[in-house]
A and B are shown apart, each in its own frame.
Chain A
């Protein structure tokens, strides 16, 4: 097999087959890599219109870790059918571990460990807690499973909001903690990359490095976007590999008919527990990535019930039970929020209308307020209102989500497979015609 070569080249044939198999992945990754430059180009060319329609790079950066979290949520909820309603617990564990570990507040862990080590250790802690939670929770099914995970996550949320151990000194735990805040700890300068290979590392964060691989990009946000994106990509491929392995097939069997999977002889409890621990690992990584850029954690963005809630919303919009779906769901969600509610400081519809509508319309009186004021109130910072309506429409009319619909239309089990098969067929037919 590997001795065969492609037409006129010395590259082994499997490289071609591999690339063909992953043609969708390559295209999507290329689009993501190009996006920051594309955004700059389009906003420079089309100005306010492009700014209104496209999500900012900063928004896409948020999507990276939230999307990874949503994927890890979908990994357990969409593939085994067990709704992990307290999944935010693992996100929070990953995030808090990095901050507390860096500040030297945890036993055994020395302060100022490199970020990559903290991220992996935090994810492992999430795995251990998933093991303990799973031991209890997987004795239950359905609503009861969802509720016990929710209960445990809520306990963590309450502890994170009230436990004064978290903030030495007189800070309020509710306001969150910053990494590197104790006076004897160095500034938090997280580096992501391959350990011990200096050129393949970059310091991230709003004040991180501006160069990557020797190329001056000029914006630390974009460097962070690439480095965090690389971690998310690796995580995605790991999850994708697991889903398509025999282990993943058993997960799907559990979702489709657990009694039958058991009858065939699979110990479904172990499979469910294993899947839960794996999804907790990636959830923990997502939490660590949040800290890597933000540098702080607070309970409301990590352990909070709605963190899971919005992962669920993203999963439904993207397609529950499609691995990449939740990620695209989050892009859609954040894009909508930015468009209609200017969340993330983005352009959005409101400034566009302010500029394009004639002044007479804007100053029209509407029962005490002007149109302009009303626009400002309704289209700034209330993204959840529109998200909710869109979500309801999805549940009613597109219950399988964006990727799920695509999958149904194409009649295959995954969109990537369909496209690579079509590309393969096309290549084969050109081969024959030669």
Chain B
């Protein structure tokens, strides 16, 4: 068994086509994980709120994006047109979810900043189950997932994904999947965008000041309340945009359980990277994405026969990381402890 495994790995390392395929898939998965987790880490870093409704935001984003993409008939536009429309759809989803996040923050979450952190966990958990069940009622009532609207909602990709992005392609010796490249592009855009927001904008400065020392930031006249709202809106919007991206991916589906499927890996990445550290989140997404891709590869080549290997790997990373480095890769002492 172990000998066989070594042989398989040698095979992989000596075959550039397979290796590049696995690596590209790993980067694509890492990009998805980064998009999923970055909103969560942003909100936690500043506000110390562990947002359990994050997965629900992503699920809503996926549904809205599915509706928009199907409604616009993206599949028939050709590659350039579809990608451009998709960009518009992502921007639209971001705006809708950001608005929704703002409303939630102002009406509900704001009330609990003075309470111990567990109450924010509880509140967002309550919001999450309400939102999920509401979508379930909606979906059932209007028969959305049963194809009543002429579309197969559980996988809008089948009708709308441009043919150029489907299937595996070869370039020299590298085998890749068009959609993976799009995902990597979006992942890089997310990383750069959030980095630029934090380091190059006025609000980013406020956010960093707030993370550093909330009292002092307040004393210097920074409107922390407003900053919290903006950050929560951006976090929610990013979650929604990630949902739009997941909509096209073969391994995820537009369905109500998506919320939980997204939420748990997002937690893992945020914890593994270190709570509140954006750098850590990028590193952890890379780690988990690569492990996921290699786990899938190990299953496909028959080295491991356990079907849940990729899911299992994610949580094994979490447990191992917490044993070896309790603060995560780039965590700060004192974040997320008691009190």
1/0 per position for A378-414, CB-CB distance to B under 8 A?
1000111101110110011001000000000000000
| Complex CA distance for A377 and B322, rounded to whole angstroms | 44
The distance from the CB of B145 to the nearest CB of chain A, in whole angstroms, is: 14
1/0 per position for A74-103, CB-CB distance to B under 8 A?
000000010100000000000000000000
What number of B residues sit within 8 Å (CB to CB) of A? 46
Q: Are A147 and B318 in contact (CB under 8 A)?
A: yes
Considering the complex, which residues of chain A in the window 129-183 have a beta carbon less than 8 Å from any beta carbon of chain B? 136, 139-144, 147-148, 150-152, 154-155, 158-159, 161-163
Q: Are A395 and B126 in contact (CB under 8 A)?
A: yes
Q: Is B151 an interface residue (CB 8 A)?
A: no
Q: Is B271 an interface residue (CB 8 A)?
A: yes
Q: B123, B140, B322: which contacts A151 (Cβ < 8 A)?
A: B322
The distance from the CB of A13 to the nearest CB of chain B, in whole angstroms, is: 45
Contacts of A387 in B (CB 8 A): 129
Q: Are A377 and B326 in contact (CB under 8 A)?
A: no
B-side interface mostly: helix
Q: Are B275 and A382 in contact (CB under 8 A)?
A: no
The distance from the CB of B12 to the nearest CB of chain A, in whole angstroms, is: 24
1/0 per position for B111-135, CB-CB distance to A under 8 A?
1100101110011011111111110
Q: Are B118 and A83 in contact (CB under 8 A)?
A: yes
Contacts of A152 in B (CB 8 A): 315, 319
Q: Are B126 and A151 in contact (CB under 8 A)?
A: no
Q: Is B307 an interface residue (CB 8 A)?
A: yes
Q: Are A396 and B260 in contact (CB under 8 A)?
A: no
Q: Is B291 an interface residue (CB 8 A)?
A: no
Q: Is B225 an interface residue (CB 8 A)?
A: no
Determine the residue in chain B with the shortest Cβ distance to A385: B133
| Complex CA distance for A387 and B312, rounded to whole angstroms | 31
Q: Is B323 an interface residue (CB 8 A)?
A: yes
Q: Are B338 and A388 in contact (CB under 8 A)?
A: no
Q: Are B338 and A258 in contact (CB under 8 A)?
A: yes
| Complex CA distance for A69 and B237, rounded to whole angstroms | 37
Contacts of A396 in B (CB 8 A): 108, 111-112, 123
Given A158-B308, A384-B132, 12 further pairs, Cβ under 8 A: A136-B323, A140-B322, A144-B326, A144-B337, A148-B323, A151-B318, A305-B260, A312-B125, A377-B140, A387-B129, A388-B131, A396-B111
Q: Hey, which bits of chain B sit against chain A, CB under 8 A?
A: 50, 108, 111-112, 115, 117-119, 122-123, 125-134, 136-137, 140-141, 260, 264, 267-268, 271, 275, 306-308, 311-312, 315-316, 318-319, 322-323, 326-327, 336-338
